[in-house]
Amino acid sequence: MSYQWTRPLVGDSLFKHLLQQRNQQTSKLSSLSLSPLRSTRIKQRMYQAMEYATSNTSKSLQSAPTMKANKKNPYSDTILLPKTDFSLRADAVNREHLFRDRCTKDLYPWQLENNPKDLFVLHDGPPYANGSVHSGHAMNKILKDMINRYQVLRGRKVWYRPGWDCHGLPIEMKALEQLRKKNLHDSLSPMEIRDLARKKALKEIDIQRTAFKSWGVMGDWNNPYRTLDKDYELRQLDVFHEMVKRGYIYRQLKPVYWSPSSKSALAESELEYNEAHKSRSLHVRFQLATFGTSLQEKWKKHINNTYAVIWTTTPWTLPSNKAVSVHPKLEYSLVRLADDFSSNGDQAKLYIIASDRVNAFETELGQAAQVVDTASGSSLIGSSYKHPLWKGSNMPFIEGHHVTADSGTGLVHTAPGHGMEDYDACSKYGIAPFSPVGDDGLYTNEVASLGLEGKSAFEDGTTAVIELLRNESSIMLEQDYIHKYPYDWRTKQPVMLRATAQWFANVEQLQIKAVEALKNTRMVPDVSHRRLEQFTLSRKEWCISRQRSWGVPIPALYDTNTGEALLTEESVQHIIDVFDKSGSTDIWWEASDDSIFVAPKYRDNGKTYTRGYDTMDVWFDSGTSWTMLKDLPGRSTTADSPLADIYLEGSDQHRGWFQSSLLTSIALTGKAPYGTLITHGFALDEQGRKMSKSIGNTLEPILITNGGKDKKKYPAYGSDVLRMWVANCEYTRDVNIGPNVIAQMSEIMRKVRTTARFMLGNLQDFTYKDSVRYNDLKEIDKYMLHELHQFDQNVKSAFDEFSFNRAMQHVQNFTTNQLSAFYFDVIKDRVYNEKQDATSRRMAQTVLYEIINIYTTALAPIVCHTAEEIYEHYRSKTPHPETSIFKLDNWHEQRSINSEWNNPDLVDKWTILKNLKTEVNQVLEQARQEKAVRSSQEAEIIVSIDSKTPVGQIIHSMDDSELASLFLTSRVQVKEGDDEVQAESVGYHRQTQLESIDCSIKAKKSSYHKCPRCWNYHAAEIDCLCTRCENVVSKTV
């Protein structure tokens, strides 16, 4: 039994003594060097000890305090103490599964069939079917589930079909992991790889699905969408076909992000950046061969001793150098270094540097530079230089608007085969890209004459290039350089920009429409608008081809003689039809005859075709998932309305799924696929660090729900504690998780269960038929219903705004301030000591009945298992018991049903009375400290205030017994402010103000005696019952 139930019975003196002991122990704890987790657990044991002590002491105190201790109090059986089977201890591991099916597997089909309102669609962003689930998965899935459950409670039908992203390199690599260790992976055919990858993906899906379901996530788990399924692949290919038809798809030889470790092209969304990448930077000089027209006369005498200085952090790209870019509007200086100051002016080496970079150049080289002359960038264009590695080859100076004077030398080494800006700059001059690096990152035979063939561009190839330049005396400065550099997000290895023939989606044609469509999209948080717009506008093209076996094939054919690609509307449609008839895209790799893929239109044109084996980017896979939302039954949409109400994923999806879904949808439908876009942050450890197995700071959800081998270190908290963590997070930012955080969530759950247990225990003999009409309730009960109404509206408003932590703040504040610290204290005497069917007792029970219904429903989207358990203990008291709290049809209607509870006039009055109670408690505490009284029940209160003031009118209007019940005291007298009280009758005094009105509060020991039944000081004589209890007992006997 909780001490909250017995406090009025055992007296405040015992409670105060235990509280003082607890505070002393807490003070000692703070002086010890204990971990926060251990400190929290010790405090929890102290609370439990208090509860046990007060509970057991109450039983002994009830055993007739004026009689012998071993004699039973004759009035014990007449007291209506709380009774319930609802346990204070969650025991979630053994109890949650009893309530899971009713609020997941059984509920999902029921709500689709029975809920009266329209269809609500939260479209699941598919997690990658690879690897065990982590805290980020938990946050993502539980956030979605809380939204869906709230919508079910609102009476809407919820469509939630979980999905998985099944293709791509990570799964392929994982599937081949064991074979790779034995060097057997290279001997596998594409179909063998595909078969292994498919089995791996399906196995991972089963593992992840089991975990997601264990968290109480409701959805169509028996019918998930998987990007490897035939139906999905054909939908995806239909989107591709339509984009071909509309001219969005093209093939081109140009630089793309290439991962040597994956041997595949990558999209920008597949990159992560290493802030501490170390490169070898070079300042390299290129000797001028010719000057541009405007400089030929001016610098004629310097033609044999002038050098252009470039700076690069990628020495391996210098064999691919095709030009030097300068900005036409920058000023450039011709400088002489200090080492050459003594040389003949015409013979000294001169260097071309951007004027704004001369000082930096001096600092880097460690010697002074003298400016000989200046020239504009536009005058340098048309000049040429001698390539130090390719003898006899002169390369041009070209215009480059990407050139700045913010770093380097203001002259940019330009290799169109290894940089997008370089490629764009050279395209204007017809300079073709040159990229002598293979799929594996090794130099090809195109640079065999330099001795580089077979060397790794990133490793020994870089060293070899530097040595070649050094032999040509071309290096002015070599340094290590730490900077931000792109890495393959899957292999964690550096990537390069490399010119290869790839398939692209023309994003530039879609950008403006996409950004315009986002204006009609609600975003949580608001900053996501700017973030997604920036990512969308900065992306000019989308490389959609990958060089892997495990994926959806790009349905392109190639002329066997010229290599020219065939990708037309008719050809693509024919290939899709072949896939459909064969039952799988596997036939692309299985068929021995290329001709079956050639559309009739092209069979007699004198050409032969062969298949290409590129597969689609996985972001194109998942980015077409919105096609499954078209024409859902029960979904009424207009031409402008989105297919999904909500997309919800992590912040990394602004450049991933959010964007790929937006672009493909804009291409085909002209609108965004989502009405609301919600973004959550990442889960970090308690120190704010990224989770990493190498650091050892990961906390897998299963350790929270099921516990670890060491149950002291990792207790089994159950799924609702995990869900409570998600609900209490400010999820739009990065959030912390760890043992201490989870222990705090467990403490919140303990308070929730304690509160529910009090209400259930005091509703033991009550059903809805015993309810008292609102107009007949006591004013304090009406006030409590007003607070309940406000609580209900506040929680619903928070859910409407997807602010779950604010909803939980309302729950905790209501639990602590309105229930535990106020209403429960005030009504205990009524519900424990009045006659069972007394009207005043039924009034309090009526309010408790309404509270537990709304309180439990407010908790239901967050801690669904606990809410179901609470509901199980009171559903028989309701007019229409259901098998699940989510099947109640009244919560979404209560805005109108409970309108009479909304009584703002009571708020001002009861705010004043509660403030008065706070002042009274100050006086009572003084009396207790000086041992004049042992408990508040032993005291009498005299309040003096002017009845002519608005505050005074309120206090004077209150019945003395109501104030005594509010203050938990024996009696209360209210007097005029100028009345005098004889000094000998006054025990303790406090002069204060209420709403700026003077108020005097006095406390003294009651002249009445303690009633042996209710413990209130209302008895006229010692060992006698008070009038109320005498009346109750006489009717009970």
Residue 1037: band (very low, low, confident or very high) from pLDDT cuts 50, 70, 90: low
* C-beta separation of 961 from 829 below 8 A: no
Cα separation, 83 vs 480, whole angstroms = 75
Whether 771 and 842 map to the same domain: the answer is yes
User: Which of 25, 58, 79 finishes a domain?
Assistant: 79
- Residue 355: count of CB within 10 angstroms of its CB: 17
Q: Pick from 515, 552, 551, 549: which is nearest to 532 by CA?
A: 515
Choose the most confident range, by mean pLDDT, from 621-625, 634-638, 898-902. 621-625
Of 902, 933, 955, which marks where a domain is finished? 902
Q: The domain containing residue 340 runs over which residues?
A: 265-497
- For the segment 516-556, what is each residue's pLDDT rounded down to a tens digit? 999 999 999 999 999 999 988 888 788 899 988 999 999 99
**What is the C-alpha to C-alpha distance for residues 915 and 918, in angstroms, rounded to an integer?**
5
Instruction: State the Cα angle at 21 between 20 and 23, rounded to 5°.
Output: 65
- Measure Cα distances from 654 to 506, 648, 650, 801, 1009 in Å: 19, 11, 8, 21, 72
| Percent of the chain surpassing pLDDT 90 | 75
First to last CA, the chain: 26
Give the number of domains in the chain: 4
Q: pTM above the 0.95 mark?
A: no
- 876 and 749, same structural domain? yes
Residues 717 and 854 in one domain: yes
Angstrom distances, CA of residue 1033 to CA of 440, 836, 1012, 1018, 1037:
92, 11, 12, 15, 6
User: CA-CA distance, 954 to 943, in Å (whole number)?
Assistant: 12
789 is a domain residue: yes
**Position 191 in a domain:** no
Looking at the structure, do residues 763 and 860 belong to the same domain, yes or no?
A: yes
> Are residue 756 and residue 693 in the same domain, yes or no?
yes
| DSSP SS3 for 319 | helix
Which of 40-54, 288-302, 901-915 is least confident?
40-54
Judged by phi (left if over 0) then psi (alpha if -120 to 50, else beta), residue 684 lies in beta
Specify the CATH number for the domain of residue 864: 1.10.730.20
Let me know if residue 823 belongs to a domain.
yes
Q: Are residues 774 and 844 in the same domain?
A: yes
Tokens read off for 121: 């669609």
3 state DSSP class of 500 = strand
Examine the domain organization and report whether 276 and 356 are in the same domain: yes
Whether residue 415 is found in the same domain as residue 472: yes
Q: Which tops the pLDDT comparison, 270 or 827? A: 827
- Which letter does DSSP use for residue 690 in this model? B
On the question of pLDDT at 698 being above 90, the answer is no
Residue 618 is which amino acid? V
Q: What pLDDT is recorded for position 251?
A: 94
SS3 content of the chain, % helix, strand, coil (to 5): 45, 20, 35
Q: How far is CA 71 from CA 6, 81, 1022, in A?
A: 20, 20, 18
DSSP 3-state of 615: strand
The CB density around residue 950, as the number of other CB atoms within 10 Å, is 11
pLDDT surpasses 50 at 163: yes
Q: What are phi and psi of 397, to 5 degrees?
A: -90, 130
Whether 34 has a pLDDT exceeding 60, the answer reads: no
Given a cut of 50, whether residue 48 has pLDDT beyond it is no
pLDDT at 305 over 50: yes
* Contact of 585 with 577, CB cutoff 8 Å: no
- Choosing from 497, 522, 538, the residue where a domain stops is 497
Tokens 């059986």 belong to which residue?
A: 77
| Res 489 pLDDT > 90 | no
Q: How far is residue 601's CA from residue 603's CA, in Å, rounded to a whole number?
A: 6
Residues 970 and 845 in one domain: no
- State the pLDDT at residue 19: 46
Are 869 and 935 part of one and the same domain? no
Helices then strands, counting H and E runs in the chain, come out as 34, 32
Residue 445, domain CATH: 3.90.740.10
Tens of pLDDT along 408-441? 999 999 999 999 899 989 989 999 999 999 999 9
pLDDT of 722-760, one tens digit each? 999 999 999 999 999 999 999 999 999 999 999 999 999
- Considering the domain boundaries, does residue 197 fall inside one? no
Asked, for residue 542, whether it belongs to a domain, the answer is: no
- Could you give the CA distance from residue 112 to residue 897 in angstroms, rounded to a whole number? 25
- CA-based angle 276:277:282, to the nearest 5? 125
Handedness of CA 193, 194, 200, 201 (dihedral sign): positive
Beta strands in 377-521 (DSSP E): 384-386, 394-399, 412-414, 475-488, 496-505
Beta-ladder partners of 442: 456
Cα–Cα distance, 869 to 863 (Å, whole number): 10
Give one DSSP letter per residue of 266-302, joined into a string. Answer: E-GGGEEEEEEEEEEEEEEEEEEEE--GGGTTTTGGG
> CA–CA separation, 119 vs 670, rounded Å?
23
Kindly state whether residue 170 falls inside one of the protein's structural domains: no
- When the pLDDT of each residue in the chain is averaged and rounded to a whole number, the result is 89
The 10s digit of each residue's pLDDT in 264-300 is 888 777 888 999 999 999 999 999 999 999 898 899 8
Residue 38 has pLDDT above 60, yes or no: no
> Is 936 in contact with 961 (CB distance < 8 Å)?
no
Q: What is the pLDDT of residue 271?
A: 85
334 DSSP β-pair partners: 352, 373
Beta strands in 346-470 (DSSP E): 350-354, 369-376, 384-386, 394-399, 412-414
What stretch of H or E contains 377?
helix 377-380
Contact 145, 884 (CB under 8 A): no
What pLDDT shows up at residue 634?
81
Beta strands in 730-785 (DSSP E): 735-736
Q: What is the mean pLDDT of residues 979-996?
A: 71
Calculate mean pLDDT across residues 212-225. Answer: 97
Same domain, 865 and 947: no
Residue bearing tokens 């975990």: 211
Question: For the residues 938-963, what does the mean pLDDT come to?
Answer: 93
Per the model's pLDDT, the better-predicted residue between 173 and 768 turns out to be: 768
pLDDT at 897: 55
Q: Which residues contact 444 (CB under 8 A, 6 or more apart)?
A: 436, 437, 438, 453
What's 972's domain CATH number?
A: 3.30.2320
> Does residue 2 have a pLDDT over 50?
no
- Token reading at 971: 């009696």
Would residue 232 count as lying in a domain?
A: no
Angle between helices 839-859 and 779-800 (to 10 degrees): 10
**pLDDT computed for residue 66 by the predictor:** 39
Rounded to whole angstroms, how far apart are CA atoms 431 and 876?
Answer: 82
Residue 641 binned pLDDT confidence (cut-offs 50, 70, 90): confident
pLDDT surpassing 80 at residue 62: no
Cα–chain-centroid distance for residue 338? 58
Looking at 624-738, list the stretches that DSSP marks H as alpha helix, in order from N- to C-terminal side.
657-669, 701-705, 719-728
The verdict on residue 883 lying in a domain is: yes
Tokens in use for 998?
A: 């003077």
Do 751 and 876 belong to one domain?
Answer: yes
- List of residues 6+ apart from 339 with CB closer than 8 A: 367
Sign of the C-alpha dihedral, residues 586, 591, 595, 596? negative
Tell me the CB-side half-sphere exposure of residue 294, using CA atoms within 13 A.
9
